[in-house]
Structure 1
Amino acid sequence: MPRSNKKKNRGAQHGGMQPFSDEDASVETLSHCSSFSDTASVADEGGEANEDAAQEDFQYKLKGFIDSTVDKSAKTRQGALDGLKGAMATRILYEFISERRMTITDSIERCLKKGKGEEQRAAASLACLLCIQLGSGIESEEVFKSLKPIFKNILADGSANIQARQAVATSLGLCTLVAEDDILDVHATMECFENLFTRSYARADGTCPSISPPTSQLHTNALLSWALLLTICTSNQLSDILRKHLPKLPRLLESDDVNMRIAAGETIALLFELARDMNPEFDFDELDELCDKLSALATDCNKHRAKTDKRKQRSVFRDVLKAVEEGEFQSETIRFGTERMNIDSWVRKRTYDTFREFVGSGMNFHLQANEFIRDVFELGPPILVDSATMKAMKISRFERHLHNSAAFKARTKARNKFRDKRVDVGEF
């Protein structure tokens, strides 16, 4: 996975009084600062003066959020953290954030140390979004250098709030991927995750340890972050990990927690993919036994499990079984703007899923405009889209309504014809 240390020009996004809705993540809201100008929408709002005023108002609101992260009220701090998270998830704010990154980092550090539960969770997530905005380089490295010891302390502290530990387990993984500059430190962080998820291993006699649902979620998050960091390990590190962990990871497939079983299955598929990339002739001694387990999970009919859990599990494990047995991956196409990207490997899937967890509905926007994320997925520089192309891409609400109405009428007619031809069973 490419990781560039070179900083590139990034711009801020204009916004109104409610800057963090899903619509703001769409292509229509991108400003000229991000090289995605929509002159038609600017004209509708009264021209460049209105855009500048909206940008000023937006930045004023962000400054208010930053100030409020040190408020005495925990509720106010929580709201400020969530406001900053929403902005960073749906905008490119590099210039604004770069000037204030240490102030924001200090606020995150304070909230992690002195906050509780939800506040710590929000602070941990904000740290990831801050690194995503800054990209891979000296700025994000400085942020992570300040926060990494706090993350690791919370993660290892059994008496710390479980929600905070869950959030840190996820955030530490992504921040390490983005901002860690030493591969040995990456390996040390992976060992922190190993110390958690290995506690969910089934015992030698096949019985599972008694673990509460919140703790199981912590172990699952740790496993997924560990899997994410597998994607940037060296060949020597991967060889050691395959030898040490691949024989034991199938024990997690016995877990009572469906999320842990799925995370374990996807991690095993990822390890097989990485192993075969290094050596096409890779062979696993316990392959038959593993495939039997995966096959059982792909056709699970256990009456004690919820139907939704079983459906979700079967779908995932059919793909995992194909990956382990045949080295296949069920590819998926992601469309954003005028572009598309193929998720064609377990490496890409784990990376995409992790980024999407933090930016949510803003993922398509970041794929278009965030140079760091485009670099990660090898998409090249952001593509300039002129206003004519943008206009052609849009469909007005009225046109959508007409299209949906026509489709509804066509379906109704077809169904009525079918109903007319049916035989009335009561006549016989």
Structure 2
Amino acid sequence: VCPLTLWGQQGNVQPFSDEDSSIETLSHCSSLSERTSAAEEAGETEEMAQEDFQYKLKVYIDSTVDKSAKTRQGALDGLKTAMATKILYEFISERRMTITDSIERCLKKGKGVEQCAAASLACLLCIQLGSGIESEEVFKTLKPVFKTILNDGAANIQARQACATSLGLCTLVAEDDIMDVFATMECFESLFTHSYIREDGSRPSVNPQTTQLHTNALLSWALLLTICTGSHIRVIAQKHLSKLPRLLENDNVNMRIAAGETIALLFELIRDFDYDDWEPLCEQLNALATDCNKHRAKTDKRKQRSVFRDVLKAVEEGDFQSETIRFATERMVIDSWVKKRTYDAFREFVGSGMNYHLQANEFIRDVFELGPPMLIDSAALKAMKSSRLERHLYNAAAFKARTKARNKFRDKRVDVGEF
């Protein structure tokens, strides 16, 4: 994809000027020299596009400190789009502290939507830099800001929700001390445990937006579970596994699903854990997997039943419904709750660019044990795309033929019915 199409503000870069065209018309070069000239022109065009793309990024970086909140918001969104869809390590590495300072300023002085965009950009910056000293420096600057907003009950609720999610992923990528990981998990616990139904059966009074904050905190907590030591996971299980099922009774479908997936993740991480309330838990999970409550929306029930069928299998049989992700000429199998939680966390920020990052981002490939990025033969890739196009055209023609045949058959049935 041409980088210019990210913004849609300029037309296509023309590979030849009018003067070039007239010269080319008058020239009588050999076929070899023509191919060489075309290759040089293509290289120059690509270089021009790259320079233009980097110029736009520099403008965006400068605009993150603009006086206008709208301009800052646009700049943050532009940088997010670029980082989600391209590998920019060299460009970003040279400017990482400038970008970090801008993110910090937007988090501290911005409002709501701007803070959310800044929090997301922090994650994308860490994903671009990968696990190492560079992302550690970024995170050391931003972690205190994330925690301050997260724990501030008077802060904008959307900003707190965004910080709960971003703090989890940034910790996974850039935290260099496991004890600090545990401290961050305790920060998340101090939030989502407020949604636990009390032992006497009474429900806490929590509004929908705060419930979403607690849900985000629970998902980030579960993400960090995937990098904890076995001994620490056992301590966590003893503390929370008897209480997490209380979240399954929450009125919010997202919270119920997050709790169910977290329970499945814990059972996967400590399969030999001695859990006393196993049968009541399975009954509760089965009820959610077959929920027919008329007071719930159909879409919520459909989504919930699908997830809890898988959660029930995980708890009862230690089973996981695997899923295959295809990208370019490769494929990756998500075959565990650990891998699913990790994949979902990255995809939340990278979005539609996830397949591209799986193909080209060395850090993400390392996380999912895919090895170094593969060098794809452009001719082979073109042939593969051609075969896909051929299959598509064949299927379209076959569908058209079937439709015509069925229409004729229907016409005959109508004629017979008239007699």
TM-score normalized by structure 1?
A: 0.87
Among 356, 367, 370, the alignment partner of 2:361 is 370
Measured in 2, the distance between the counterparts of 1:275 and 1:292 equals 21
Structure 2: how far apart are the matches of 1:313 and 1:391?
41
For residues 8-407 of structure 1, the aligned pairs below 5 Å read 15-19=2-6, 46-276=41-271, 281-395=272-386, 402-403=393-394, 405-407=396-398
Question: What is the identity, as a one-letter code, of the residue corresponding to 1:140?
Answer: S
Unaligned 5+ runs, structure 1: 1-13, 22-39
Q: Distance in 1 between matches of 2:64 and 2:154?
A: 25
SS in 1 for 2:325: strand
Any conservation in 2 of the 1:118–1:164 contact (CA below 8 Å)? yes
Maintained 8 Å contact 1:273/1:346: yes
Between 226-235 and 282-291, the greater mean CA deviation after superposition: 282-291
In the alignment, which residue of structure 1 is the partner of 2:399?
408
Change (3 A) 1:415 1:256: farther
Q: 1:125 to 1:45 in 2, by over 3 A?
A: farther
Residue-by-residue CA offset, 1:320-367 (whole Å, 9 max, x unaligned)? 000000000000000000000000000000000000000000000000
Structure 1 position 106, deviation (Å):
0.1
Q: Percent identity?
A: 80
Cα deviation 1:397-423 (Å, max 9, x = unaligned): 975773453143144146447757979
Displacement of 1:291: 0.4
Q: Separation in 2 of the partners of 1:424 and 1:217?
A: 60
Give the SS at the match of 2:95: helix
Higher Rg of the two aligned structures = 2
Q: Are 1:297 and 1:313, in contact at CA under 8 Å, matched by a contact in 2?
A: yes
1:11 corresponding residue in structure 2: none
Change (3 A) 1:118 1:44: farther
Structure 1 distance, partners of 2:51, 2:388, is: 29
One-letter code of the match for 2:238? R
Question: What letter corresponds to residue 379 of structure 1 in structure 2?
Answer: L
| Cα distance change, pair 127–326 in 1 and its aligned pair in 2 (3 A) | same
Structure with greater contact order relative to length (CA < 8 Å, sep ≥ 6): 1
Mapped contact 1:170–1:225 kept (Cα < 8 A): yes
Q: Distance in 2 between matches of 1:213 and 1:163?
A: 12
**TM-superposed deviation, 1:212:** 1.1
Q: Contact 1:154/1:160 (CA < 8 Å) preserved in 2?
A: yes
With over 3 angstroms needed to count, the CA separation of the structure-2 counterparts of 1:104 and 1:387, relative to structure 1, is same
- Taking the aligned partners of 2:85 and 2:63, their CA distance within structure 1 comes to 20
- Quote how far apart the aligned CAs of 1:389 are: 1.1
Distance in 1 separating the partners of 2:281 and 2:111:
41
| Segments ≥4 residues shifted beyond 2 Å | 14-21, 42-46, 205-208, 395-405, 413-427
Q: For residues 315 and 415 of structure 2, what CA distance do their matches in structure 1 show?
A: 52
Select between 418-427 and 227-236 the one with higher mean Cα deviation.
418-427
Aligned length: 392
- Which residue of the partner structure matches residue 30 of structure 1? none
Q: Counterparts of 1:147 and 1:234 in 2: how far apart (Å)?
A: 25
- Name the TM-score, length of structure 2 as normaliser: 0.89
Following the alignment from structure 2 to structure 1, what is the Cα–Cα distance between the partners of residues 253 and 39? 50
Distance 1:190 1:230, change over 3 A: same
**Structure 2, unaligned stretches of length 5 or more?**
9-34
1:164-189: CA deviation from partner (whole Å, max 9, x where unpaired): 00000000000000000000000000
Most deviating of 403-412 and 195-204: 403-412
- Distance in 2, Cα, partners of 1:136 & 1:70: 27
Matched residues in 1 for 2:309 and 2:38: separation? 51
- Secondary structure in structure 1 of the residue aligned to 2:6: coil
Q: Secondary structure at the match of 2:5?
A: coil
Aligned CA-pair RMSD: 2.5
Question: Separation in 1 of the partners of 2:386 and 2:236?
Answer: 50
Cα 1:207–1:146, aligned 2, differ >3 Å: closer, same or farther? same
Distance change >3 Å, CA 411–CA 224, structure 1 → 2? farther
Whether the aligned pair in 2 keeps the contact of 1:65 and 1:80 (CA below 8 Å) is: yes
SS of residue in 1 equivalent to 2:257: helix
Structure-1 residue corresponding to 2:29: none
